Amino acid sequence: MKFFLVKRRMVTAAACVLAAVVMFTAVNYPAVVASATDRQLPIYCVERDQKMISISFDAAWGNEDTQQLIDILGKYNVKATFFVVGEWVDKYPESVKALHDAGHEVMNHSNHHDHLSQLGRDEIIADCNACNDKIEAVTGVRPTLIRPPYGEYDDNVITSIRAAGMEPIQWDVDSLDWKDLSAAEITKRVTGKVQAGSIVLFHNAALHTPEALPTILETLLGQGYTFVPISQLILPGEYNVDYTIDHTGRQCSAQ
C-alpha cells in the first residue's frame, strides 16, 4: 500500500509540474512572439545601395550656434534636418526661419520635450500637432517627421505618431556631442560608424560640434558620401505595405 501511495504522490507531483510548465508557456510564449513580431519601431537608418546619408540636429535648449551651423553647412552645400521643440520655436522663430530659408528641413521634436511614453494616445497626437502648428506658422511647411524626446518610445508612442500621419525617426550614429566630447572624439565616432543609409545625431548648442563638423563633412564627402535631408533618405509609402522596419530599426523596401 505504501508503494502505491508513494507512486501516486509522485505521479501527482509530476502532473503539477507539467501543468505549471504548460501554464507558463501559455502565458509567456505568446508574449515573446508578440513582442518579436509586433513591436513598433521608428526608423534608425535606411537600406540604401548608394552612399547616401543624413545628418540631423536636435534643438531643444540653447541657440548660440545655430547661425554658425547654418554657415558651416552652407559652405559644403549640405542640407540637414533639424528637429526642434515647440517651445524652442516660440523663443527663436528667427532661427527657425533662417534654417528653413537656408534649405534645411525643420521637423518636430515635440512641443515641450516631455517623455511621450508617459502620455496617452490623444495627448501624444495633440503634442505633435501643437509643435507642427508652430513650425508651419514660421516656415509655411508642416512637418512630417518627429524625433521623440530623449530617444524614448514604446508601442503606444510609435502607433500614436503614425496615427498622426508622421514618421518617427531615431539614429544609428550618435555623435555624443551633448557629453562635451572633444572635436576629435566626435569626428572619430561619426566617421568611424557611418555607412550607407545612416542617420547621424548632433545637437545645436553642443560645445564642440561646430569645431568638429567641417572635418566630418570633408572626410565623408571625400569618401563619396552624399548628404540629403532625412525626408529624402527614407523610403516613401506606407509602413508594412511599401516598406518594413527590421529588428535593428533599418527601413527596408517591401518589394
Residues designated catalytic: 58, 203
The residue type of 230 is I
| Beta-strand relationship, 199-203 and 226-227 | unpaired
H-only helix segments in the chain = 2-38, 66-75, 86-91, 93-101, 121-139, 155-163, 183-193, 209-222, 230-233
CA neighbours within 13 Å on the CB side: how many for 83?
Answer: 32
- Cα end-to-end span (Å), the chain: 70
Residues 167 and 22: beta-carbon distance below 8 Å:
no
